[in-house]
Copies of this chain bind each other. A is one copy, B any other.
Amino acid sequence: MAKERSGAGDPARTLELLWREPAPQDAPPRRGPRQGLSVDAVVRAAIALADSGGLEALTMRGVAQRLGVTPMTLYTYVPGKAELLDLMMDAVCLDMPRTGRPDGPWRARAEALARENLELCRRHPWVATLPAIRPPLGPGIMARYEHELAVFEGLGLDDVEMDAAVSLLFDFVRSVARSESDAQAAARDSAMSDAQWWEAHAPLLAKVFDAERYPLAARVGAAAGAAHQSPYNPDYVFRFGLERILDGLAALIASRGGA
Residues of A within 8 A of B (CB): 1, 3, 7-8, 11-12, 15, 19, 21, 56, 131-134, 137, 142-143, 145-146, 149-150, 153, 158-165, 167-168, 171-172, 174-176, 178-179, 182-183, 185-186, 189-190, 192, 194, 197, 200-201, 204-205, 208-209, 213-217, 219-221, 223-224, 227-228, 231-232, 236-237, 240-241, 243-249, 251-252
B19–A232 contact, CB under 8 A?
no
Q: Which residues of B contact A21 (CB under 8 A)?
A: 208
Closest to A183 in B: B133
> What secondary structure prevails in chain A residues at the interface with B?
helix
Determine the distance from Cα of A178 to Cα of B133 in the docked complex, in whole angstroms: 10
Copies in the complex: 2
Determine the distance from Cα of A227 to Cα of B240 in the docked complex, in whole angstroms: 32
3 cross-chain pairs, A with B, having the tightest CB-CB distances, nearest first:
A244-B248, A159-B223, A248-B248
Q: Which residues of B contact A143 (CB under 8 A)?
A: 214
Q: Which residues of B contact A183 (CB under 8 A)?
A: 133-134
B208–A241 contact, CB under 8 A?
no
Given known contacts A172-B172, A201-B137, A208-B15, is B164 in contact with A219 (CB within 8 Å)? no
A164–B237 contact, CB under 8 A?
yes
Report A89 CB to chain B, min CB distance, Å: 14
Determine the distance from Cα of A168 to Cα of B150 in the docked complex, in whole angstroms: 26
Closest to A163 in B: B224
